[in-house]
């Protein structure tokens, strides 16, 4: 278990990946202070798997891209220490292999895209309430998350930061589109 940070230093990381048919897969990582203010934002350029990747990875392609490619890269680029990393896609839980921070799936955010989430679907996890949302946390990291959960009492909305990431990615895509000259 990592050393418990001071309350004033507690951060929340939010990680999500947007799949767009036109642009590809783009990930975003937003680091917030305990009151919900941004400290750092990172996003990837759009990534397009080749047809060979689709064939070779088959049904595991999404999990590979989300956790092993995009998530790993964003965590490596992040300069701000993360106390708790939140995600809204079950595949993103595997980024825990690349960070010292515990990783939690926020049920309400995941259900918006993935449908109803239950504890049975996330074996080895337990549910904890933080800032009015349900956080699924690996059982072996539960006490660590419980120890810092009180830090986030001022967080206005535990789900909304995912929308900020999606909007920032959308804006980045539109800026990229404006920079590319149209083909004649």
Instruction: Please report, for the domain that includes residue 123, its CATH number.
Output: 3.30.2170
Q: How confident is the model at residue 117 (pLDDT cuts 50, 70, 90)?
A: confident
User: What strands, in cross-sheet order, belong to the sheet with 11-20?
Assistant: 38-43, 24-33, 11-20, 84-87, 103-106, 133-138, 125-130
> Collapsing DSSP states into helix, strand and coil, what is residue 123?
coil
Q: Does 1 fall in a domain?
A: no
Q: Does 133 fall in a domain?
A: yes
Question: In angstroms, what CA-CA distances link 11 with 38, 60, 82, 84, 86?
Answer: 10, 31, 5, 7, 11
Q: Does 127 fall in a domain?
A: yes
Q: Token digits for 141?
A: 């990291």
Q: How confident is the model at residue 183 (pLDDT cuts 50, 70, 90)?
A: very low
Q: Does 12 fall in a domain?
A: yes
Q: Does 184 fall in a domain?
A: no
Structure confidence at residue 122 (pLDDT) = 81
Structure confidence at residue 182 (pLDDT) = 58
Q: Does 18 fall in a domain?
A: yes
Q: Does 2 fall in a domain?
A: no
Predicted confidence (pLDDT) at residue 2 exceeds the cutoff of 60 = no
Q: Does 28 fall in a domain?
A: yes
The mean pLDDT value of the chain amounts to 90
Domain count, the chain: 1
Structure confidence at residue 103 (pLDDT) = 97
Full domain range(s) for residue 65: 7-179
């Amino acid at each position: 278990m990592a050393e418990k940070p001071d309350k004033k230093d507690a951060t929340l990381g939010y990680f999500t990946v947007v799949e767009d048919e036109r642009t590809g897969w783009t990930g975003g990582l937003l680091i917030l202070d305990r009151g919900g203010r941004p400290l750092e934002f990172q996003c990837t350029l759009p990534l397009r798997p080749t047809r060979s990747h689709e064939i070779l990875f088959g049904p595991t392609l999404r999990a590979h891209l989300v956790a092993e490619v995009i998530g790993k890269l964003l965590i490596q680029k992040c300069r701000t220490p993360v106390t708790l990393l939140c995600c809204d896609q079950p595949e993103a839980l595997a980024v825990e292999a690349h960070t010292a921070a515990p990783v939690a799936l926020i049920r309400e955010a995941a259900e918006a895209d993935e449908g109803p989430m239950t504890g049975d679907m996330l074996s080895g996890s337990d549910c904890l309430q933080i800032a009015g949302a349900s956080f699924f946390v690996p059982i072996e990291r539960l006490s660590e998350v419980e120890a810092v959960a009180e830090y986030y009492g001022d967080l206005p909305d535990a789900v909304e930061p995912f929308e900020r990431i999606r909007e920032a990615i959308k804006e980045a895509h539109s800026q990229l589109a404006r920079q590319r000259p149209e083909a004649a």
